Structure 1
Amino acid sequence: MQRDEIKRLVIVSDAWHPQVNGVVRTLTKVREQMEARGFEVTIISPADYHSVPCPTYPEIRLALTLPSAVKARIEAIQPAYVHIATEGPLGMMARRTCIKNNWRFTTSFHTRFPEYLRKRLPVPLSWSYGWLRRFHNAAESCLVPTQSIHDELIVRGFETLKVWTRGVDRELFRPQPDVDLHLQRPVFICVGRVAIEKNLEAFLSLDLPGTKLIVGNGPDLENLKRKYPKAVFAGKHEGEALARFYAGADVFVFPSRTDTFGLVLLEAIASGLPVAAYPVPGSKDVINATGAGVLSEDLGEAALAALAMGRVDPEATLQGFSWEACADIFESILTRIGVSREVPGHTVKSRQTISAR
Structure 2
Amino acid sequence: MKLLLATDAWRPQVNGVVRTLERVSTELQRFGVDVAMLTPDLFRTIPAPTYPEIRLAITTPGKIGAMAAAAKPDAIHIATEGPIGFGVRRWCLRNRRKFTTSFHTRFPEYVAARWPISPKLSYAVLRWFHNAGNGCMVATRSLENDLRSRGFERLLPWSRGVDAELFRPRPNARTDEVPRPVFLFVGRVAVEKNIRAFLDLDLPGSKMVVGDGPASVELKRDYPDARFPGVLTGEPLAEAYANADVFVFPSRTDTYGIVLLEALASGLPVAAYPVAGPLDVVGGTDVGVLDDDLRQAALSALDIPAERCREFALKHSWPACARQFLDNLVSAQDLSVETRALAMADGR
Q: TM range, normalised to the smaller chain?
A: over 0.9
Distance 1:312 1:272 in 2: 6
Distance 1:314 1:303, change over 3 A: closer
| Structure 2 gap segments, 5+ residues each | 336-348
User: Is the 1:184–1:210 contact (alpha carbons within 8 Å) kept by the matching residues of 2?
Assistant: yes
For 2:8 and 2:242, the matched residues in 1 are separated by: 32
Displacement, 1:292?
Answer: 1.1
Deviation of the 1:310 alpha carbon: 3.9
State the Cα deviation string for residues 282-330 of structure 1 (Å, max 9, x = none). 1111112653100011100100110122424345312541111111111
Superposition map of 1:21-170 within 5 A = 21-170=15-164
User: Aligned with 1:259: secondary structure?
Assistant: coil
* One of 3, 6, 9 as aligned partner of 2:3: 9
Instruction: Indicate conservation of the 8 Å contact 2:168/2:310, yes or no.
Output: no
> Which of these residues, 186, 195, 203, is aligned with residue 190 of structure 2?
195
Give the AA of the match of 2:39.
S
Match of 2:278 in 1: 283
SS at match of 1:98: helix
Contact 1:106 1:335 in 2 (8 A): no
Query: Which AA in structure 2 matches 1:221?
Result: S
User: What's the CA shift string for 1:263-286, capped at 9, x where partnerless?
Assistant: 110000000001000011111111
String of CA shifts for 1:215-256, please: whole Å, max 9, x gaps: 111111111111111111111111111111100110000000
- Look up the match of 1:232: 227
**2:182·2:205 contact (CA, 8 Å) conserved in 1?**
yes
Report if the CA contact (8 A) 1:102-1:339 is conserved.
no
Which residue of 2 is the match for residue 334 of structure 1? Answer: 329
TM-score, normalization by structure 2: 0.93
Asked if 1 retains the 8 angstrom alpha-carbon contact of 2:266 and 2:310, the reply is: no
**1-structure distance, mates of 2:307, 2:95:** 51
Secondary structure at the residue paired with 2:302? helix
Cα distance in 2 for partners of 1:170, 1:283 equals 19
Give the partner amino acid of 2:287.
A
| 1:193 Cα deviation from its structure 2 partner | 1.1
- CA 1:339 to 1:265, structure 2 compared with 1: closer, same or farther past 3 Å? closer
CA distance in 2, matches of 1:118, 1:109: 18
SS of 1:334's equivalent in the other structure is helix
Task: Say if 2:3 and 2:34, in contact at 8 Å, map to a contact too.
Answer: yes
Task: Say how many residue pairs are matched.
Answer: 334
User: Structure 1 CA distance, aligned partners of 2:315 and 2:157?
Assistant: 13
Residues 81-113 of structure 1 deviation map (CA, whole Å, 9 limit, x = unaligned):
000000001100100000000111000000000
Change (3 A) 1:313 1:51: same
Paired with 1:195 and 1:321, the residues of 2 have a C-alpha distance of 27
Distance 2:292 2:227 in 1: 24
Counterpart in the other structure of 1:265: 260
Query: 1:155-203: per-residue Cα shift (whole Å, max 9, x none)?
Result: 0011111121101111100001122341100100111111111100000
Normalised to the residue count of structure 1, the TM-score between the two structures is 0.91
Distance 1:193 1:244 in 2: 18
| 1:252 counterpart SS class | strand
Counterpart position of 2:346: none
Identity of aligned residues (%): 53
Moved over 3 A (4+): 335-340
Deviation at 1:337, TM superposition (A): 9.6
- Distance, in Å, in 2 between the alignment partners of 1:315 and 1:216 is 23
How far residue 59 of structure 1 moved from its aligned partner, in angstroms, is: 1.0
8 A Cα contact 1:85 1:107, kept in partner: yes
Match of 1:347 in 2: none
**In the alignment, what sits opposite 2:316?**
321
Measure the CA separation in 2 of the matches of 1:287 and 1:214: 21
Cα drift, residue 147 of structure 1: 0.7
Change (3 A) 1:186 1:76: same
Aligned partners of 1:8 and 1:83: how far apart in 2?
A: 11
Query: Residues 226 and 253 from structure 1, CA distance in 2 versus in 1: closer, same or farther, beyond 3 angstroms?
Result: same
Amino acid aligned to 1:81: A
- Structure 2 CA distance for aligned equivalents of residues 34 and 256 of structure 1: 31
- Contact map agreement 2:162 2:313 (CA 8 A) in 1: no
> For the Cα contact (< 8 Å) 1:9–1:42, is it kept in 2?
yes
Measured in 2, the distance between the counterparts of 1:262 and 1:289 equals 17
The offset of 1:335, in angstroms, is 4.4
Question: Secondary structure at 1:257's aligned position in 2?
Answer: coil
Query: In structure 2, what is the Cα distance between the partners aligned to 1:126 and 1:276?
Result: 30
